[in-house]
Amino acid sequence: MATDKPVTPTEEQLEILEYNFCKVNKHPDPATLCLIAAETGLSEEQTLKWFKQRLAEWRKSEGLPSESGSVRD
């Protein structure tokens, strides 16, 4: 089984992920990531991957380089 398969969250999972991304933290720490993963039912790896992809999209929409390093990376 391939672990790098793209994550396709359900509508409900997306709502939780988006809420956390927009309202809580774009860079969740490991403990927060674990809680979000538990809440969505996704693995921590899938949750982290979603946040990374979403952050790249957000940076692009803000006119920032998608992979720019930050103090939190």
pLDDT digits (tens, 9 = 90+) for 38-60: 999 999 999 999 999 999 999 99
Q: Return the axis-axis angle of helices 44-61 and 30-40, rounded to nearest 10°.
A: 100
Answer yes or no: are the C-beta atoms of 37 and 46 closer than 8 Å.
Answer: yes
pLDDT tens-place string over residues 8-42: 889 999 999 999 999 998 999 999 999 999 999 99
- Has residue 66 been placed in a domain? no
**pLDDT value of residue 27:** 92
Number of domains into which the chain is organized: 1
* Residues of the domain holding 38: 11-59
pLDDT at 3 over 70: no
**64 in a structural domain:** no
Whether 69 maps to a domain, the answer reads no
Type of residue numbered 15: E
Residue of higher predicted confidence among 14 and 73: 14
Q: 43: domain CATH number? A: 1.10.10.60
Higher pLDDT, 67 or 62: 62
Per the domain annotation, does 67 fall within a domain?
no
